[in-house]
Structure 1
Amino acid sequence: MATIVHIDIPVGDLQRARTFYETIFEWRFHEVPGYSDYLLFETGDGKSAPAIGGGLGMRGAPDQRITCYIGVKSIAHYLPRIEEMGGAVTMPYTEIPGFGALALCLDSEGNPFGLWEEKHEI
């Protein structure tokens, strides 16, 4: 079963947003080597039930909103199925070097979501 694996939060001021989430929710942030305008965060304490992590990144468009990413084994497998069921692909398979790949979609109700395919080193 595919599950939500990541949440992206677009921001206008990276440090202001980091301070907001650290102060209110006590999320832990890490810098990502090679990505100066993006921070990863963890929402769990490592002791209780697993928690969803995510990232803060600079807003790419004025209307960009929070996006939930669903982890799948093969983005290529899901894209045609999404379209067959009345959804749409708004950004095709895109590699994120060293991490995996993503695609952005709309569901049948026009809600945005992402697909995430983890890179597995052999």
Structure 2
Amino acid sequence: MPHGDITHIDIPVADLTRAQEFYSGLFGWQIAAPPGFEDYPMWQAPNKISGGGLAPRSEGFEQPRSYVEVDSIDDTLAKVEASGGTVLMAKSPITDTSWWAIFEDPDGNHIGLYEGITDTAGQ
């Protein structure tokens, strides 16, 4: 995906099993936890493009969060701070080839960033 595309949406949930049943029944989403991420079931919409995860609800993560793919999380977080935003979570690894971070915009919205390649095919 190109820099700036929304690549993923996390939905905070209290009960993973209940949420999987709810969203798969409601929207027809395919939901499964990829190997190595058993506590993080991923959903994919019928269009095979839209997707995200069902993640445990926690303090500060109480509303769905969109993730934007960027060429460089480091460069983007520097621009966030220079533009009046706040880094909530610094760049952190997902896999050996992918990273994420979270920032807050000047209006208080939490947005995730994604950089890299996450390929679970063949695992």
Q: Is the 8 A contact 2:95 2:118 kept in 1?
A: no
Secondary structure, aligned partner of 1:37: coil
Please report the TM-score for the alignment, with normalisation by the length of structure 2.
0.85
Letter in 1 for 2:15: D
More strand by share: 1
Paired position in structure 2 for 1:73: 71
**CA distance in structure 2 between the partners assigned to 1:120 and 1:93 by the alignment:** 15
Deviations 1:22-69 (A, max 9, x none): 1111111122112221111111334xxxx3210012123275321100
* Shift of residue 120, structure 1, vs aligned partner: 7.2
RMSD of Structure 2 on Structure 1 (CA): 1.9
Q: Is the 8 A contact 1:4 1:52 kept in 2?
A: no
Paired-residue identity, %: 36
Paired position in structure 2 for 1:104: 102
How many residue pairs match? The answer is 117
Moved more, 15-24 or 57-66: 57-66
Match of 2:38 among 36, 39, 47: 36
List 4+ stretches of structure 1 deviating above 4 A.
Answer: none
**CA distance in structure 2 between the partners assigned to 1:62 and 1:120 by the alignment:** 25
Letter in 1 for 2:91: Y
Please report the TM-score for the alignment, with normalisation by the length of structure 1.
0.86
Shift in CA distance, 62/116, structure 1 to aligned 2, threshold 3 Å: closer
* Shift of residue 10, structure 1, vs aligned partner: 1.2
Match of 2:59 among 58, 61, 70: 61
Letter in 1 for 2:13: V
Unmatched segments (≥5 aa) in structure 2: none
* Shift of residue 9, structure 1, vs aligned partner: 0.8
* Shift of residue 99, structure 1, vs aligned partner: 5.6
Shift in CA distance, 3/38, structure 1 to aligned 2, threshold 3 Å: same
Q: Is the 8 A contact 2:92 2:101 kept in 1?
A: yes
Letter in 2 for 1:61: E
* Shift of residue 98, structure 1, vs aligned partner: 4.5
